[in-house]
Structure 1
Amino acid sequence: MKEAMFWDGSRCNLCPRRCIIPEEGVGVCKVRKNENGTLYSLNYGKLTAVHVDPIEKKPLFHFYPGSEILSIGSSGCNFMCKNCQNWEISQRFVDTEFTPPEKIVEMAKPYGMIAFTYNEPTVFYEYAYDVAKLAKKRGLKTVWVSNGYINDEPLKKIAKYLDAANIDFKGFNNRVWMELVGGVKLDTFLDRLKAWAKTKIHLELTYLIIPNWNDKDIEPAVKWIKDNVGDVPLHFSRYFPMYKLMEKPTPIQTLKHAYEIGKKYLSYVYVGNAPELDLENTYCPKCGELVIKRYGYIVESSLKDGKCPKCGEKIATA
């Protein structure tokens, strides 16, 4: 265990839940424990996954497209999503052998990048912070794949060591947040997303479209994103039954409609988990030229110095 950051007495101040954790108890995340009046991170260095992934898997389409990235995850989460695909590690503490930050940074050197992913990185904040800080010293890029639910102080502290983030946008109604995510208010999440938008971190958003939950709020959601976050890449994703949620998969027509709505407001819109639609390519927002072709995780780019080869428009890529 390692003493946690951002706590006061029995209250954890890492995320907006601000759990009051009783003696020998843990927070909603399952991985922050009160022991003898001190808050500890149970999952410091306790990794459940270490893999090399395509950067597109995060998904990030505008941050070093075609690259590979060392990806690490631990256990626990401050959300309780009924459709979580990684529920076996997110909804409990998983005790594993300790991996020092130095080892992860050394492993990442051939790829030049590290992603904090698989489970919510906010709940293994102390470890992610130490890894990210060391990674920046070694000239590596860092990526945060997250629900975005983190308080201002910890976000500001780690933001200077992060280069890119993909944030999940669960929906634009309170029912999604209270019932599907678990006891979270929409306005609180929107406030957190605004905080992310104020950082210098490259942002992309993912919107998993779940029938009967968030498929009726797509246009107001996208408009809010454009007005409050900016013209960021948006990844719609097809839902399939998972964990405790057994709704039918997202209809293809719903995905097509979402794509059309997204393109009304944003320059870069994609649809994932639906290869039959072929909507994961990048097109020049000015002339419509195909500039990055994607076949699954195979990427072919025709960019010339980051610009469209046809009209010279600057394409938003790191």
Structure 2
Amino acid sequence: MSVTAWLSIKLKSGKVLCQACSQACTLEEGEYGICGVRKVEDGELKLLVYGLAAAVNIDPVEKKPMFHFMPGSTAFSIGTVGCNFSCQFCQNFYISQYPKEHNQKILGSELLPDKIVELALENKCRSIAYTYNEPIVFFEYTYDTAKLAHEKGLKNIYVTSGFETHRAIDLLAPYIDGMNIDIKGFTEEFYEEICGARLKPVLECVKYAHEKGIWIEITTLLIPGKNDSEEEVRNIAKFIAKLDPAIPWHLSGFYPMYKMLDIPPTPGQTLRRAYDIGIEEGLKYVYVGNIEDEAHESTYCPKCNTMVINRRGHIGQYVINKLDERGTCSHCGYVLEGIWR
């Protein structure tokens, strides 16, 4: 379904500037944005995937990953085709890169905002997650859904690469309760050469979303030989700690995927060393993902070090939450940071 992508502005030149993400595509009639799903038609920017879901699932919220956001609950998860990044390691490339690799073809089944909310409620989900591909490229679809979801008592989660503009975040902030934002590396070279993007706007997005009061968790996929040096890992940890040491940091293991089939999986020791670096730099909550590691997936009270959320098995498979609705440690009374109800 094609609708007006209203997060845009018509310039005096006659071109249209998309204001959703920091790619800032300036498009002429008939041109597509980098994402492949926003196009100028009849002088207006159109969103071509409104109401067209390419992936729909009911997931544990831990799979997003969100570990301090209503643990043990489920999130109604949706995504479309299209992406404003071109990550060579993308695990969902078959939908994120679909338009670019299929001559701008659009794929998806009709699923309008009211139906998404209805299905989420029917399936006793406590949140809706906009995920699988980059949600900012289908901003207007997410905005309408999130607003309706809030009216019905559901929370909303953006799982994103962090290229949202300040204007987009301003509009989303009343309705998006949580964001898991990727910091994919900590050099401009990594972002430009491997992701087709830039680092600086991501860091600005993290800061601004946090400033707006959205609950933030960060994910970094460690790729052998690309972004896993101790210096780069430590720089990411320092950035997060300076912003807010209570922001959870998820360190995820790489597996050969898409255009990076020649790179081996991330060794467990690399992930555990990165975990230690995060703790050394003052982060309260660091997690290891994509491998089964109960000790490094569980949550510990930062005051008394008691395990307060036990996670084991496949992500979200077994979650034992010992915190009360305020996030209070029963051992010492410390209130852990997060959204617990």
The one-letter code matched in structure 2 to 1:228 is L
Equivalent in 319, 324, 335 of residue 299 of structure 1: 319
Range 240-249 or range 221-230, more displaced? 221-230
Question: CA contact under 8 A between 1:7 and 1:14: conserved in structure 2?
Answer: yes
5 Å-filtered alignment, 1:144-163, equals 144-163=158-177
Q: Which residue of 2 aligns with 1:181?
A: 195
> What is the TM-score normalised by the length of structure 1?
0.96
Paired residue secondary structure (2:185): coil
Give yes or no for contact 1:145–1:166 (8 Å, CA) kept in 2: yes
Deviation at 1:230, TM superposition (A): 4.3
| 1:1-318 pair list within 5 angstroms | 1-9=2-10, 10-93=16-99, 94-109=106-121, 110-182=124-196, 184-216=197-229, 217-246=232-261, 247-264=263-280, 265-276=282-293, 278-295=295-312, 296=314, 297=316, 298-305=318-325, 306-318=327-339
* 1:106 CA displacement: 0.6
Q: Report the CA distance between 1:277 and its aligned residue.
A: 6.5
Output one character per residue of 1:285-304: Cα deviation in whole Å (capped at 9) or x when no partner.
11111111111321012224
Residues 178 and 142 (structure 1), Cα distance of their counterparts in 2 relative to 1, 3 Å cut: same
- Contact conserved, 1:5 with 1:14, CA < 8 A, in 2? no
- Alpha carbons 1:231, 1:266 under 8 Å: kept: yes
1:151–1:229 distance in 2 versus 1, CA, 3 Å: farther
3-state secondary structure, aligned to 1:315: coil
Q: Distance in 1 between matches of 2:52 and 2:324?
A: 42
Percentage identity across aligned positions? 43
**Do the aligned residues in 2 keep the contact of 1:148 with 1:196 (CA within 8 Å)?**
no
Q: Distance in 1 between matches of 2:163 and 2:324?
A: 37
Structure 1 residues 229, 39: closer, same or farther in 2, change over 3 A? Answer: farther
Tell me the distance in 2 between the aligned counterparts of 1:137 and 1:276.
38
Unaligned runs of 5+ in 2: 11-15, 100-105
Q: Secondary structure at the match of 1:275?
A: coil
Distance in 2 separating the partners of 1:244 and 1:251: 20
Distance 2:310 2:83 in 1: 34
Q: Note the residue ranges of structure 1 that are not aligned, 5 or more in a row.
A: none
Contact preservation (8 Å) 2:182, 2:218: yes
Partner of 1:65, secondary structure, is coil
Quote the offset at 1:254 in angstroms. 1.1
SS at match of 1:287: coil
* Cα contact 2:81–2:108 (8 A) shared by 1: no
2:246–2:337 contact (8 Å) kept in structure 1: no
State the AA in 1 paired with 2:292.
P
8 Å contact from structure 1 (residues 115, 144) kept in 2: yes
